[in-house]
Every structure is written in structure tokens, then in C-alpha cells.
Structure 1
Amino acid sequence: MSDSLIQIYIHAVWATKKREPFILPELKAPLFKHIEQELDKMNCQLLIINSMPDHIHCLFSICSTKSISYIIKQIKGSSSRFINLQYSLPTKLEWQIGYAAFSVSKVALNKVYNYIKYQDVRHGFKSMADK
């Protein structure tokens, strides 16, 4: 076999600094679009992204040449820079240092996809800190 086949799916979660409710409805679309573009640049495919005001869930496939830590670092760094440069907000968007990343089997993709899609229902419109 001359070509390699990589099918690795990651469910990543990261939060705003101090879990501040920073991700307002009007910021979601541009923030999500920017994250999708960053993933594309790294040859990763975004399957779904969603958020609550204080955290993001992202399901994507990774390529064989980038580590998960590198991908998340790039996404978090570029997305906060993008929002802070494009929008005049009272405070700057900052992410907490850590993140969570879980491998997802192909069989579980639909379940994780729906879990991310329906974040507002699952959280009952409350932040992670309130749960």
C-alpha cells in the first residue's frame, strides 16, 4: 500500500480563562469560522463545533503530521488573537491553559456529534461552573 490512511477523530474541549462567559452569541459565528479555517490550514477537518459562553466543544479529524497539543495550541492562540484584533470588547478573550481531548471511534461519531450539537440543551443554558 503506497498511501497511508489516517482516521483519527478528536473531541476537544477548552474553556475561557476563569470560565468567564465571553463567548457571546454574536461572536460564535466568526469564532467558529476562524477555528475551522485554522484546522483546514493544518489539514484537519472540522466535523462540528459548538460552545457555551465559557467553553468550546470541537470534533475534528487530525492528520498524521501534527500532534493534538500542537493543533489545540494553534487553535487557541490564533482564535484569541483574531477576536481581540477584530472586535473592540471591554475585556480580551483569553483561554485557560489546559484542555481536554478524547479520541472518538468511528462508531461513536454520531453520538459525540449530537452531544456537541445540543450543548445548550445539555447544560440547560448554565455554564460549566454552575453544573
Structure 2
Amino acid sequence: MANTFSQLFVHVIFTVKGRANLIHESFREKVEKYIAGIVSNKKQKLYAIYCMPDHVHILISISPSATISDLVRDIKSASSSFISLNKWVVGKFSWQEGFGAFSYSKSQVDKVVNYIIKQPEHHKHQSFKDEYLELLRRFDVSYNEEYLFDWVES
């Protein structure tokens, strides 16, 4: 009997509700480890994660039996509860609706991992809005401005 073989790498990006800077350095790594556990428990593989104060980048390999929407929903739901239960923010923490998902080939994985783990340096030179719009353009993703993340200009 034949098996299913795949190699699917997805770069997922989602933001804190209202793009508030709520993921503080004091607990950032705990949130990253918690999200890594969610990905692992869902039988997917995490290659890189970085939680910026207002958004998250994740690179995962995903099996064909999993759906990206379900995985991201589970990550956002469980991690927002985790952040709220630990009282790292005032009130209830939540992620903004929606996410970006961009696929990469195996030959690009190291470059994407490096890009994700160097997010703080990257954002010294480029805003999140510019970064996200650049990804949408680079991947030729059609979008309506009305349905993009809430933008916070600094």
C-alpha cells in the first residue's frame, strides 16, 4: 500500500489584537516555547519562531492531513489563554483575526529561519506594515486593504 509523502514549509504571521505591544521580552521565550509545544502536539514540526511585541513569525512544516487554518486557530486560541492565565497583560489577551501564510521550498528554509530569528534587527529598518505588504507583493497575493491587519504607525 502506498503512503503519502510531502514536504510543505509554511511561514505564518499573525498579530496581537489592535497591534498593541503586549508581548514583552520578560515572557517572550515562554510564549514561543508554549507555541512550539502546540505545534508539536499537533504533530507538525516547528523550524523557527519569533514573537515581536505586536506580531509573531513561525516557520513550520505541515502534513497534508493538517489544515493551516485549523493549526493557526489552535495556536492562537491556546496561546492567548496561556498569556491571559499567566496575567502577563492587563485584562484578556487576544490575537487579531486572520493571518498570513506563505509557502517555501526546502532550499529556502535556512534563509527563512534566519529571517525569523533576526526579527528585532530587521524591524530596526522596516516597519511591520512594510514587511507584510512586501510579502504579499512578493508572493503575488491579491488583497483588499480593508481586510488587512490593523496598522499602527509609529
Q: Same fold (TM over 0.5)?
A: yes
1:1-131 matched pairs, under 5 angstroms? 2-87=2-87, 89-124=89-124, 128=128, 129-130=152-153
Identical aligned residues as a percent: 34
Task: Find the residue that maps to 1:40 and give its secondary structure.
Answer: helix
Structure 1's consecutive aligned runs of 4 or more residues displaced over 3 angstroms after TM superposition are none
Query: Using a 3 Å threshold, how does the CA distance of structure 1 residues 5 and 33 change in structure 2: closer, same or farther?
Result: same
Q: CA deviation at 1:6?
A: 1.8
Query: Could you tell me whether the CA contact under 8 Å between 1:49 and 1:57 is conserved in 2?
Result: yes
Counterpart residue type for residue 36 of structure 2 = E
Alignment partner, residue 140 of structure 2: none
Query: Could you tell me whether the CA contact under 8 Å between 2:12 and 2:100 is conserved in 1?
Result: yes
Counterpart residue type for residue 2 of structure 2 = S
Query: Using a 3 Å threshold, how does the CA distance of structure 1 residues 125 and 75 change in structure 2: closer, same or farther?
Result: farther
Counterpart residue type for residue 117 of structure 1 = I
Q: CA deviation at 1:88?
A: 5.1
Q: CA deviation at 1:46?
A: 0.5
Q: CA deviation at 1:64?
A: 2.1
Q: What is the distance in 2 between the residues matched to 1:57 and 1:107?
A: 19
Q: What is the distance in 2 between the residues matched to 1:61 and 1:90?
A: 34
Q: What is the distance in 1 between the residues matched to 2:22 and 2:125?
A: 14
Alignment partner, residue 136 of structure 2: none
Aligned residues: 131
TM-score by length of 2: 0.78
Choose 120-129 or 38-47, whichever is displaced more. Answer: 120-129
Q: What is the distance in 2 between the residues matched to 1:44 and 1:66?
A: 8
Counterpart residue type for residue 82 of structure 1 = F
Q: What is the distance in 2 between the residues matched to 1:12 and 1:37?
A: 16
Higher relative contact order (CA 8 A, sep 6+): 1
Query: Using a 3 Å threshold, how does the CA distance of structure 1 residues 70 and 123 change in structure 2: closer, same or farther?
Result: same
Query: Could you tell me whether the CA contact under 8 Å between 2:8 and 2:103 is conserved in 1?
Result: yes
